[in-house]
Structure 1
């Protein structure tokens, strides 16, 4: 069953309605943590499938990556389902924002990262997405009726707590912050995902309202995030010049009317070619697009 076929937990689905009357039909319940994990994994797969994404893995190519394929992105996303489900369940069980929840999410996130690396044979496909989506599924599990902005703000409050068991970090994001003084995924989360709430989601909704296809609306959301994000993935691979190219190119597409217009598509093709030449891949923006799509899907609970 696809995630978008599910409804708010608990959902009662008759099984065996055609059985003899003497044998009562059984029911199965779709629990909220399972549903949220479904939506999060679906968001990851939708992000990977979206095409054409400049510099990123999609249905056309591997973008600026030599170690990733679309099939690998699918395998990674599916491997994260137990981690995301357990994060939502932990939030339900603990029930409040605080150090215990942050510690639990940290441990579950490390387990999810291990599952990802096992599925991808050591390739870091979704480390940033584990962080963003883990916080968001937990925040949504605390209050299934909360709006996207409220969920993002609550996720930010969770992210403000330190993870007491976090090992010493030598990540690309940390090295980029030390080299360029740029904020990264941690700060984006702690601030309540402003690139998503203030830019990605509004552009997604505006493009839909203007009559753009769903694919074009999602591309416009990605581009809106790219314009404002100091993407540490880009900075790591191609430095400040690469980041400037990403932001200016994305702004040019949106300024030409978005990816649904002929002029916008021309700018999008030019941006893709430029990022391939620079070996730049806006992976941080891709992670936040997945977060954006999750919040969009989860808003209908």
Structure 2
């Protein structure tokens, strides 16, 4: 018998969800053209990132996602112990990532979002919707990790939160990823229904996130002016018909020029696009 089928169910599920998470990260970074982000064309607004480095980083997180899923299967329900175990696994995964990238932060935000979503997907039964995975992840995120002390170094998102009173990745997760549930998934499905190419649907989903997200990566790099340009520009591209429209593509080109000039990379939106692609794949898998 093929060894693949000899795996215990929980190991099969953990491997499957880890594959989905890594593939979501790879699909996100390879998607082009993304404004001011690393893609198949260029490094966008990032001087220290390349497509190859991002791909290596994504692959380095596979074992972490497997371990998180197995932890969820072992606990079987949301608990403080599970929250703190996946928190420790996330920190270990971050160290593995930094070892591969030479200390460059490539996927710290994605570790947070996708780690929660992999855990949530494992806890939920077959037939689960993408929205339900997001809401379950939000319940996990609401539990504080007691191993993280108040003395920990503030992230860029936390710095922005203090300066501008905006919410960061932590709050987005604790609210059940509203950017994904309310904007990215509906746009992804809408563009698909118009018989457009899958890349168009994914680019439109990214734009829907950019239109509504207070992206702390942009805020940190370009302040409120940069955030306003990103949100209004993304909204205009969608209003012109999304990426399938020639007029919208021209608008996207102009938006990218401005974001590059401002050194404003919507990295938070990119993380949430990867998370969107993951829960979308989980929904299709669970529905089989």
TM over 0.5: yes
Report what 2:156 is aligned to. 172
Q: Which of residues 204, 213, 218 is equivalent to 1:229?
A: 213
Report what 2:247 is aligned to. 263
Q: Distance in 2 between matches of 1:260 and 1:69?
A: 27
Q: Distance in 2 between matches of 1:125 and 1:44?
A: 11
SS of alignment partner, residue 31 of structure 1: helix
Residue 250 in structure 1 maps to residue 262 in structure 2:
no
Q: Distance in 1 between matches of 2:4 and 2:78?
A: 36
Gaps in structure 2 of 5+ consecutive residues: none
Q: Distance in 1 between matches of 2:231 and 2:133?
A: 27
1:129-140 equivalences in 2 (<5 Å): 129-140=110-121
SS of alignment partner, residue 284 of structure 2: coil
C-alpha offsets along residues 65-110 of structure 1, whole Å, 9 cap, x if unaligned? 0000000100000000011111111011011112111100110000
Q: Which of residues 49, 67, 73 is equivalent to 1:68?
A: 49
Query: In 2 relative to 1, CA 88–27 (structure 1 residues): closer, same or farther, beyond 3 Å?
Result: closer
Q: Distance in 2 between matches of 1:143 and 1:169?
A: 33
C-alpha offsets along residues 238-261 of structure 1, whole Å, 9 cap, x if unaligned? 000000010011001000000111
Q: Which of residues 91, 112, 136 is equivalent to 1:154?
A: 136
Report what 2:179 is aligned to. 195
SS of alignment partner, residue 241 of structure 2: coil
Q: Distance in 2 between matches of 1:181 and 1:89?
A: 37
SS of alignment partner, residue 300 of structure 1: helix
1:1-301 equivalences in 2 (<5 Å): 14-15=1-2, 27-29=5-7, 31-145=12-126, 146-167=128-149, 168-301=152-285
More helix by share: 2
Structure 1 runs of 4+ aligned residues shifted over 6 Å read: none
C-alpha offsets along residues 131-189 of structure 1, whole Å, 9 cap, x if unaligned? 00000000000014221111111100000000010141321111110111110000000
Q: Distance in 1 between matches of 2:14 and 2:51?
A: 26
Greater C-alpha Rg:
1
C-alpha offsets along residues 258-291 of structure 1, whole Å, 9 cap, x if unaligned? 0111011001111111100000000000000000
Q: Distance in 1 between matches of 2:284 and 2:276?
A: 14
C-alpha offsets along residues 20-68 of structure 1, whole Å, 9 cap, x if unaligned? xxxxx99543610110000000000000000000010000000000000
TM-score by length of 2: 0.95
Q: Distance in 1 between matches of 2:4 and 2:236?
A: 56
Count of aligned pairs: 279
